[in-house]
Amino acid sequence: MEYEAVIGLETHVQLKTKSKIWCGCANEFGAPPNTNVCPVCLGLPGVLPVANEEALRLTTLTGLLLNCTIAPFAKFDRKNYFYPDMPKNYQITQYDRPSTLAGYVDFEFSGALSRVRITRAHLEEDVGKNFHFERNSGVDFNRAGVPLMEIVSEPDITSAEMAYEYLCSLKDILMYGGVSDCDMEKGMVRCDVNVSVRPKGQQELGAKIEIKNMNSFSGVRRALEYEIRRQIEVVSRGGTLIQSTRRWDDVAEITEEMRTKERAHDYRYFPEPDLMPFQPTESWLREIAQRVVELPLARKQRFMREYHLPAADAQTFVWDVPLGGYFESIAKQARNPKAVANWVINNLRAKLTEANASLPELRFSASSISELADLVDSGKISSKIAQDVFGDMFEIGDAPGKIVERRGLAQVSDTAALEQFCDQAIVANPGPASDFKAGKVAALNFLKGQVMKLSKGKANPALVGEILERKLKA
Amino acid sequence: MAATDIDVNYVAHLARLSLSPEEAQKFGAQLKSVLGYIEKLQEVDVNGIEPTAHAFPLINVTRPDEVRPSLDHAEALRNAPAQANGLFMVPKIVE
């Protein structure tokens, strides 16, 4: 029997704010333990949380970027549980009235466009970080109270690879929107995975297995590959799966069941009495709508459509936003945007890395790149010479036309001069010349190379080829 | 309408309280009468009434995203039963 996987993801993302969600402590990674803490985020008695307006804005912005409905009324609730990383013994989150609802993410997957629906994106607080030692554990509360957004997907994902691509595009969108830095190394994105399998075509869902606390996308992919295989094996052997929570062991590359607590979680949610509900006003929403940016996929498609770029080039400009912006500033007026893209991607980017420089430090004006592309296209200089011209442009900042003129680099298309070079090459290399006459076509390239050398690279290669052939066939 | 029976031991477990059988019985009876009292509210007709999220008619109370000084590190850890390397030390956490 054939089986299919049904996967839903809960993705937690730390928001890019200066301060924490309920207090003014810095939202900063890597500070010495328990230095960004105060009575509010330590959960001391008698304190009152006050919502960070930027955290609310970023949540709404995320809703807009993910095509969600923005709730006209949202509130916060207490989720009650005991764990040392949560000093209040409850986490403030949004339970039944989240800030945003019912959206979707479109992304490219196996050569087509896929859509995963978003159930909700809500706002909550992050918890402290535990460190485990031989005989006891330690808690650092610097992370407690960092604004955290939970993005819940519908179970629309059908494979490990699709989950991976969904997460990558979600991350790209959030980084594009300035919602989060999404630095995986710093734990800014974490993921809980829900996965079940069922015989293909069956409506009813299989038992849901949750894999908790994944902190890398490749980990999610590997855990899912393993877990789907495991579940299918159990079911096809006639076994039964029960709803449970598992943990991914990244070293052993297996999932293992977590010790199930004798009683199911009972979080006893109730409205947070210390925080007032939130009802976004028209003007507040308008202000946030202005922060909506073009999404990565839309940008890629536009670059391919407007500038006739291949997918790989467009993708490069999606990943490197400033480079894409720079390209666009030139490409709008360029005769040959594809050639401009080649210069920007293959040459400029390499030079910038080599010189450890950035775009604003460029000495030449942006239009120089399209001018250079035009010089090559019109046959004024060869593409090899153009490399030298680009090097000079980068070093001294002169316009390419000026460099070509000053250094006398213009391509020689003057037939008389070229004929002379060709004669010289044939006389000096009788071997290859007779090889060509005997039918060895490749020998022509050698002679062509000699002519280029004699002309110091300035000969028009197409013309040289024609002249040599004519002379040798004569 | 009679008040629902509540599982005192379950509630005690959720609150991490350990009750003796006598306490469980005593609190069970007390909680039952509290719930019975609250159930009077069930008699009120609330059709068409929007649930209230808060007793105060206030909305949109926020603060600007500005960093303010945190507690002094030693001060923050002053109430810790145990500390090491700047961390609050707790009994070994087992998942």
C-alpha distance from residue A66 to each of A100, A104, A285, A292, A422 (Å): 9, 6, 15, 10, 64
Question: Which of B7, B52, B58, B70 should we substitute to test contact with A (largest number of A Cβ atoms within 10 Å)?
Answer: B70
In angstroms, how far is the first alpha carbon of chain B from the final one?
42
Note whether B89 contacts A: Cβ–Cβ < 8 A: yes
Rg (CA), chain A: 31
The DSSP annotation for A375-427 comes to HHHTTSS-HHHHHHHHHHHHHH---HHHHHHHHT---B--HHHHHHHHHHHHH
Whether residues B67 and A18 touch (CB distance < 8 A) is answered with: yes
What domains can you pick out in chain B, each with its CATH number? 3-42 (1.10.20)
A-chain residue closest to B73, CA distance:
A35
Contact B91 A54 (CB under 8 A): no
Q: Is the pTM of this model over 0.80?
A: no
Record: contact B67-A25, CB cut-off 8 A: yes
Q: How close are the terminal C-alpha atoms of chain A, in Å?
A: 73
* Measured distance CA(A333)–CA(B37) in Å, rounded: 78
Distance from C-alpha of A283 to C-alpha of A332, rounded to nearest angstrom: 34
What percentage of residues in chain B have a pLDDT greater than 70?
A: 94
Q: How far apart are CA A358 and CA A321, in angstroms?
A: 13
Q: Which two tokens stand for residue A235?
A: 């079911």
Length of chain B: 95
CB of B74 less than 8 A from some CB of A = no
Would you call A136 and B89 a contact, using CB atoms and an 8 Å cutoff?
yes
Q: Which two tokens stand for residue B62?
A: 């926020």
Determine the residue type at A280.
Answer: P
Q: Which residues does A96 contact at the CB level (< 8 Å), separation at least 6?
A: A77, A269
- Choose, out of B65, B78, B89, B95, the residue to mutate when testing the contact with A (most A CBs < 10 Å): B65
**Nearest-CA neighbor of A171 among A153, A188, A194?**
A188
**Hey, what's the torsion of the CAs at A366, A370, A372, A374, to 10 degrees?**
-160
B/e letters for A232-259, b = 16+ CB within 10 Å, e = fewer, are beebeeeeeeeeebbbbeeeeeebeeee
Inter-chain residue contact A33 with B10, CB threshold 8 Å: no
Which residues does chain B have within 8 Å of residue A36's beta carbon, measured at their own beta carbons? 70
> Smallest CA–CA separation between B95 and chain A, in Å?
7
B-proximal residues of A, 117-156, CB under 8 Å: 130-133, 135-141
Residue of chain A minimizing CA distance to B63: A52
A19/B66 Cβ within 8 A: yes
Distance of CA B49 to the CA centre of its chain: 26
Count of A-B CB contacts under 8 Å? 129
How far is Cα A82 from Cα A124, in angstroms, rounded to an integer? 17
Mean pLDDT by 10 residues, chain A (474 residues): 92 96 95 95 94 97 96 94 88 95 94 93 95 91 96 95 94 92 89 92 86 89 92 87 84 79 70 93 94 90 90 88 86 82 83 80 79 77 77 78 71 72 81 79 81 77 79 74
Per the CB < 8 Å rule, is B53 touching A97? Answer: yes
Nearest by CB: A132 against B62, B69, B93: B93
Please, which residues have CB within 8 angstroms of residue A247's CB and are 6 or more apart in sequence?
A211, A212, A213, A255, A256, A257, A258, B95
What per-residue confidence (pLDDT) applies to A337?
Answer: 84
On average, the pLDDT of chain B sits at: 86
Instruction: For each of the domains in chain A, give its residue range(s) and CATH number, in order of start.
Output: 3-289 (no CATH), 296-407 (no CATH), 415-473 (1.10.10.410)
Indicate which of A96, A129, A136 best probes the interface with B, i.e. most B CBs within 10 Å of its own CB: A136
pLDDT over 70 at B28, yes or no: yes
Q: Cβ contact (<8 Å) for B89 and A18?
A: no
Cβ-contact A249, B32 below 8 angstroms: no
Is residue A99 a contact partner of residue A309, using CB atoms and an 8 Å limit? no
Cβ burial A409-436 (10 Å sphere, 16+ → b, else e): bbbbeeeeebbebbeebbeebeebbebb
The answer to whether A261 faces chain B, any CB pair under 8 Å, is no
Of residues A394, A321, A398, the one with CA closest to residue A362: A394
Q: How many C-beta atoms lie closer than 10 Å to residue A114's C-beta?
A: 17
DSSP element (H, E) containing A268: none
Amino acid A333: pLDDT: 81
Closest CA to A445 of A419, A458, A464: A464
Q: Name the minimum distance, in Å, from the CA of A264 to any CA of chain B.
A: 11
Closest CA to A223 of A183, A187, A191, A198: A191
Is A35 in contact with B68 (Cβ distance < 8 A)? no
Query: Could you identify the residue written with the tokens 């035009």?
Result: A374
Query: What residue type is assigned to position A262 of the chain?
Result: E
DSSP structural state of residue A31: P
Helix (H, G, I), strand (E, B) or coil at A122: strand
- Residue A136: its chain B contacts at CB < 8 A? 82, 89-92
